[in-house]
Structure 1
């Protein structure tokens, strides 16, 4: 339970940090110059000469470091292998362009770290590579062969590991020591958290597609295509955010964190207020483009959330014989429902299971919020000893959950001064890291071939 309270503290700090800023919580396109930034670009401009986006091939030289088409293809294959999927057509071409941008950033980060004499040793690379292999339940040699079979390579993964480790160390040495948080600022944030007690906050993920007025139709069509891919449920939302979002949050899977309605653009706030947990909505038209939203959770600040209650459950499962028809399954489910409604507490579950030939599974650690959305509302209103309606499929059988006990959630407490300070410092480090990467992009010499 202490772990849950700490997570609530961190979320509350995130909310306060968002309130402390002057901007909205919605992300923006990762441009170095917002809007026109004083560039004096006419609205009725005329393009002189031909513009062919296909001129830029998937090969680039970044400050004398070569990124080849093979590098791009192997990194795309690595993404496919990690997500156990195959990507084809236009989506694959978009992913290759995104990967090329990521490889350019990765190269700039490694180069900047090296300029400060920050390197990653072969032993450290081996250790990280072996840990990834363990995550795939393979030996390093087996994992290397697995990557080759899937069109990637050991070199591609090691390069990604090197970029992440080098940049983390650069931030710790060059940016973190220069990041300070004042005592009065921490006190102000704690006051903001107290003042927001009871307010609804949303945990959102976002895919942002930039679309200025002259490309509104193209942006809407692109966002709609991504919505269709998400609807296939072949990959998690974060996968599409990392690969297609044009916002600064793409590196974190589009995560906006915990935000309140008043910190969001009106269009986003209105959509979030109408969404159910687990729902994807969009495309939502916002200034400058379109957003696709995924509501992962919602709650009230510093208020006990009933969905954090831990349940003691017994699950009854009745299997159907092969070849059962829908009518037969419906009839059996109805009989199963009638039997579970007659239960007189959890003490009679095993007796009923023996009578029905059902399987019984016990679980004492499930939170209501960890259940499917359809079951959450049912469990919130269920009394101890009662059963849910049957649920399932003819292929997998029907199930019912019997509530044996409930440990209600406690109200969250204010985070400590140290927690607020650490969270605020990390947010500032991340912001300065983004600014540094933009500076590196501006100063880089990148030649596309």
Structure 2
């Protein structure tokens, strides 16, 4: 997850620069409000505070056996220090239990991933790890030595970082190799998604960041709520939301810093919808309990939506003006019904040129609201790449091919964007299922 490491590098670069702390304004709200506070967007890209020196003790020795492979207290402490450096979550008495729990979960997953990499003989050479570190450092304008040097100052040994990158890079390669061919997205799935977006385009929309604390992974619903409260407090105090989401969130969006994209009103659970309806851009929610865990939402932006829906139509028609007899209209309708099952978006115009009684036309892309009233219902509701039933207008009888449909406006996603997002979601789901299955089959023995 290169983007994950990139933002960590931004945080480190900004800390090295020793700039003044980011300014955050906590919203003065009544206890019942879903809003926890207002975030400074600049803190997201340029975190500006150095974490408090981590002062905590762990009993020396063995912590967990994962399929007989040990996790030691040294490894756990190193991972906690790395987590603190990456997220800027301050190591207080209240936050340390959540940091330790997350670090241990990460280590268990990493041990299982390392075992899978060995089983499939996936090896990431030192040169590739060096290149990754150099890329992180270059992206934030510092040298690899400065990047590793800062981590060393916070107590993180370079080998801890290198091994995390090695396993992470290898795991991504393994997941792509095993599951990439299965993360296929059919045209119908993309078309249906675009149709849903288009149909909902007039509703309010929210650009959302999310953190989901999975109760099953942290010891129950109350532990999830306690941990979420600590994270909200830390984010309000300056920990970058995206960095915290990458390290603590169990949602699929964690890999992209909690970016859930634009959500449409009415398509999220009621508890989340209520919070979004009562938030303004830049605000962070209080923890929102749901079945199985707790959400934290960051409303980055919102918009009223647009009623514009665009459709791409082609047609064949048989002329029959308003004065045509019922018999003529019936004959035209029967003629079009007879060929309807043979027509597609790809062949409808060619077919019209082959038969003298048919008139074909590519109507191109139009705003549905600008179409003839008789065409609008088909344009709004017919499946993409389907052929309509015969439609009567004052000009004749028509068959309409709905070849594409999308939400209008500059923010509307195109086919490639929707396809890429759906494929990424599928691959992420398969990767989560993979590690979940490894956990379920593993022998994990907690010591002490």
TM surpasses 0.5: yes
What does residue 81 of structure 1 align with?
Answer: 85
Partners in 1 of 2:211 and 2:283 — Cα distance? 14
2:209 aligns with 205
Q: Structure 1 length as normaliser, TM-score? A: 0.56
Question: Corresponding residue for 2:66?
Answer: 62
Distance 1:187 1:237 in 2: 33
In structure 2, distance between residues paired with 1:57 and 1:302: 60
- 1:137 shift after superposition: 4.8
Question: 2:430 is matched with which residue: 429, 432, 436?
Answer: 432
What's the CA shift for 1:278? 0.4
Shift of 1:426: 1.7
What is the alpha-carbon distance in structure 1 between the residues aligned to residue 441 and residue 81 of structure 2?
30
The structure-2 alpha-carbon separation of the partners of 1:290 and 1:443, relative to structure 1 and needing over 3 Å to count, comes to closer
* Kept after mapping to 2: 8 A contact 1:302/1:414: no
Q: Which residue of 2 aligns with 1:418?
A: 416
**How far is 1:248 from its partner?**
5.2
In the alignment, which residue of structure 2 is the partner of 1:231?
236
Distance 1:298 1:150, change over 3 A: same
Q: Distance in 1 between the 2:191 and 2:221 partners?
A: 44
Cα distance between partner residues in 2 of 1:269 and 1:203 = 13
- Residue 107 of structure 2 is aligned to residue 109 of structure 1: no
Relative to 1, partners in 2 of residues 1:131 and 1:417: Cα closer, same or farther, differing over 3 Å? closer
Distance 1:414 1:192 in 2: 12
CA distance in 1, matches of 2:77, 2:422: 38
The answer on whether the counterparts of 2:179 and 2:427 sit within 8 Å (CA) in structure 1 is: yes
Q: For 1:166 and 1:282, locate their aligned partners in 2 and report how far apart those are by CA, in whole Å.
A: 36
Matched residue pairs, number?
289
Measure the CA separation in 1 of the matches of 2:103 and 2:79. 7
What pairs with 1:293-308 in structure 2 (closer than 5 Å)? Answer: 293-301=297-305
Name the CA shift for 1:98/1:55 in 2 (closer, same or farther; >3 Å): same
What are the within-5 Å matches in structure 2 for residues 180-195 of structure 1?
180-195=184-199
SS of residue paired to 2:121: coil
Pair 206,186 (structure 1): closer, same or farther in 2 beyond 3 Å:
closer
d(CA) in 1 for partners of 2:254 and 2:260? Answer: 10
> Pairwise mapping of residues 32-51 of structure 1 onto structure 2 (< 5 A)?
none
* 1:258 and 2:256 matched: no
Q: 8 Å contact 1:271–1:281 — kept in the other structure? A: yes
**Larger relative contact order (Cα-Cα within 8 Å, sequence gap ≥ 6):** 1
Is contact 2:252–2:428 with CA below 8 Å preserved after alignment?
A: no
Distance 1:444 1:186 in 2: 37
Distance 1:429 1:210 in 2: 20
The CA distance in 1 between the partners of 2:61 and 2:294, in whole Å, is: 28
TM-fit CA distance, 1:104: 1.3
1:185 & 1:221 partners in 2: Cα distance?
39
Is this contact kept in 2: 1:58–1:72, CA < 8 A?
no
Give the superposition deviation at 1:59: 2.2
Structure 1 unmatched ranges of 5 or more: 1-53, 305-409
- Of the two, which has the highest radius of gyration? 2
CA distance in 1, matches of 2:108, 2:151: 22
1:384-413 CA distance string (max 9 Å, x none) = xxxxxxxxxxxxxxxxxxxxxxxxxx9227
Shift of 1:436: 0.9
CA contact (8 A) 1:303 1:411 kept: no
TM-score, length-scaled by structure 2: 0.56
